[in-house]
Amino acid sequence: MTPISYRNSLVEKFQSKSATVAVIGLGYVGLPLLLRFVEVGFKVIGIDVHASKVDALLTGKSYIRHIPSDRLAKALATKRVQAGSDYALTAQADAIIICVPTPLNEHREPDLSYITNTMEALVPFLKEGQLLSLESTTYPGTTAEEIVPRVERSKLKVGQDAFVVFSPEREDPGNQKFETQTIPKVVGGTTKACLDVGVALYSQVIGKVVPVTSTQTAEMAKLLENIYRSVNIGLVNELKQVADRMNIDIWEVIEAASTKPFGFTPFFPGPGLGGHCIPIDPFYLTWKAREYGVNTRFIELAGEVNTAMPEWVYGKVAEALNSRSKAVRGSRILLLGTAYKKNIDDMRESPALRLFELLTERGASVSYSDPFVPSVQIAGKTQESVKMDSSTLKNQDCVLLVTDHDSFDYKMILEDSSLIVDTRGRFRNQSSKVVPA
């Protein structure tokens, strides 16, 4: 086939939904995307190195709280779902979408091993007439530097008989207003033909597709989204500390500023950043920027402020206990909520983990309660969530609200706790035993 024929053939397959789509990585990004493709009529192949996720998918048991099991069961009932851990399955696919983690290493530098290992495993099974899309957040140039050379190593010419795009994931677990199909999809292609094919694929499952001129532009766009949030959260976290010293209610300040109908977007303080994006992604750009001789001081400063927030919250806990003539050492402290944000079960980069460590290291007897997180690993030890009831609350020297899940009984917490340190503004102006943090 000619390059134009490969392009036209793929576009036609996507538009007719006769294509098979493989999704690699069945986590918070990959699983909802796979389900969306099934729901509009595509055959899908799910691939994950964790057999437990594959088994759960094939038995219709969801392992992600905000994705109900009946949605998996309905997908399985279509008979259009395959899943496994063998990359050879991708030889059947017309499109391969990579949704693997991109963490930082111990030196706070990008760890692309999940992407590169995936590509190495894929190379033997790549074939003519396939689209390869990377969705994992990464620094500008990753697709061109890490994906394209590996595709072309398999004797395929990108833009002619194989097609490569970058289309950043934008999932927001637990968001009730937006889901996979309603969040606009940015797509950048290695070539114009690649972009055409990528847009044709995503247009079948996403309401609005936003094409951009290159994979680098798409990569940078995702980083800008997350850096924007990181910088503004860092700003409001710093202002919280200033307001605290001045005895000003930062939440009231934000409410007042939010009445301006233009030029202001409210951001809210907390105990620190969590999740798979905002605490990590800005450092992908700062690392890459050094290659070009640019110091991203603004971005790094915001990261420093946000990273230090658990230590500031710890200080507020120590100060609150001290006002009751108690030390941190020996005090019983209950953390309420450990997920990185409310109403989800995602623990990735949660500031609660650092708070747990800080309090334990200084001799406190620490427990936690989270209806969505039955257990956590802290310093190599498994901690189980305790039942939050009147007896548990009354037995604490301090209750630290870290994640304000809507399902918590806040009236009971206020009535039965002797001291509350509130990092979320949930108990504003309600009692003298509440300390804002």
Q: Which residues are catalytic?
A: 277
SS3 label, residue 414: helix
- Separation CA 149–CA 378 (nearest Å): 40
Kindly state the tokens that stand for 18.
């006769």
Beta bridge partners of 22: 45, 96
SS3 label, residue 124: helix
CB 396 within 8 A of CB 333: yes
CB 274 within 8 A of CB 310: no
Q: Tell me which residue of 85, 97, 83 sits closest to 14, measured CA to CA.
A: 97
| H or E element at residue 323 | helix 309-323
- Separation CA 119–CA 126 (nearest Å): 10
CA distances from 430 to 247, 290, 320, 410, 414 (A): 16, 48, 16, 11, 8
| H or E element at residue 211 | strand 209-212
**CA triplet 188, 346, 399: central angle to 5 degrees?**
140
Q: Give helix 215-245 / helix 250-257 axis angle, nearest 10°.
A: 130
Residue 303, Cβ neighbours under 10 Å: how many? 23
Sheet holding 81-84, edge to edge: 81-84, 43-47, 20-24, 95-98, 130-134, 162-166, 185-189, 209-212
Burial class (CB in 10 A: 0-12, 13-18, 19+), 137: buried
